[in-house]
Amino acid sequence: MRIGILTSGGDCPGLNAVLRGFCKCAFNIMEGVEIYGFIDGYAGLMNKNYRLLTPADVENILDIGGTILGTSRQPYKLMTVKEGDAPTKLQVMVDNYKKLKLDCLVTLGGAGTHKTASLLSVEGCNVIGLPKTIDNDIYGTDVTFGFHTAVDIAAGAIKRIRTTADSHSRVFFVEVMGNKVGWLTLYAGLAAGADAILIPEIAYDEEKLAQFICNKKAQSRSVVIAVAEGALSSREAAMSKKERKEYLSAFESGSAAEKLCALMTQRTGMQCRATVLGHIQRGGEPCAYDKFISTEIGAFGAHLAKVGRYGVTVCVRNNKLSYNMLVDIAGKTKRVPADGQLVLLAKDMGVYFGE
């Protein structure tokens, strides 16, 4: 059996752990299996750039961050775009899949990776997806690998910010990754005891936020607010993309936290500071939970390959491993429900969401 495997999209903790889990299991349960690792994601499949993986290649990579195969972003929107007489990127990948005589392609990635994997599946390739993203936004699964490590990193940073905020009696906005969904900001903010949590799913009111900061500051030395990078005010949410771009051009930085810092300094007269955590949330060794869940997901994927269960992506539901059909989940996003239990419980504890 000839299996191709690749890591695509943004990196995250646990990619190597999943790669290891899949390969170690496949080598043990399938006789004569060959596993080809494509370099830099779908680009490797397009360029036929790959290496044959051996048991030794994956033996000691459980703790290593990033991915030994490398990764790149290949925009889904461009997969079926035709330029002149040249074949589309999708067609090139399908042709190479056939030329390399692959029996299966395993894709480790997030939302965009899954959409492309679904296209490949529809075109006749045998594909198995493994759900990766620190955003935890893949539809149909309770958790994605990499998420909990990013929560640990972001929560730890917010807790450290609290001590300096207390020392200087300041207001801090800590920006957490999450352009479209707020799972990471919500979990990290709650784990770190943030006073307010601003996420894309719940638009905040600038005037009410300023009032909240003033009221909170009257009761304590500091105010720490966790802000998702995609958080929007109700005013911005009502704008068109063009209007929003023009509005943001008035600020020195397009960062959500730095924009809020400038606005709230002006409206409250207080010392406000912004910290953007950025890519630190995606790097380094995965936490113990992610090592465990990554190993499980990888091994489960190998079992799916052995029995020929293709056109699917692995999922975790109610602490059990299962799978969804790629065509059923590709293009769908799991968002934080504004009236969900977690948000409502946080509000009952006094956490402010900007409304």
pLDDT (mean) for 131-143: 96
20 and 62 in contact (C-beta within 8 Å)? yes
Question: Taking the C-alpha atoms of 317, 103, 50 and 100 in order, what is their torsion angle to the nearest 10 degrees?
Answer: -150
pLDDT tens for each residue of 202-222: 999 999 999 999 999 999 999
Q: Is a pLDDT exceeding 90 seen at residue 26? A: yes
347 and 353 in contact (C-beta within 8 Å)? yes
Alpha helices by DSSP H, listed for the chain, are: 15-29, 42-47, 55-58, 89-99, 111-122, 147-168, 183-192, 206-217, 234-237, 241-248, 256-268, 288-307, 326-329, 341-348
304 and 312 in contact (C-beta within 8 Å)? yes
Q: Give me the pLDDT at residue 113, please.
A: 95
Identified catalytic residue from 11, 40, 103, 135: 135
Catalytic status, residue 135: yes
Q: Give me the pLDDT at residue 292, please.
A: 97
Domains of the chain: 2-146+286-329 (3.40.50.450), 149-282 (3.40.50.460)
In the chain the first and final C-alpha atoms are separated, in Å, by 55
Beta bridge partners of 320: 317
**Which of 72-76, 264-268, 330-334, 351-355 is the least confident region?**
72-76
pLDDT tens for each residue of 163-210: 999 999 999 999 999 999 999 999 999 999 999 999 999 999 999 999
pLDDT tens for each residue of 73-94: 888 888 989 888 889 999 999 9
pLDDT confidence bin for 315, thresholds 50/70/90: very high
pLDDT, averaged across the chain: 95
52 and 36 in contact (C-beta within 8 Å)? yes
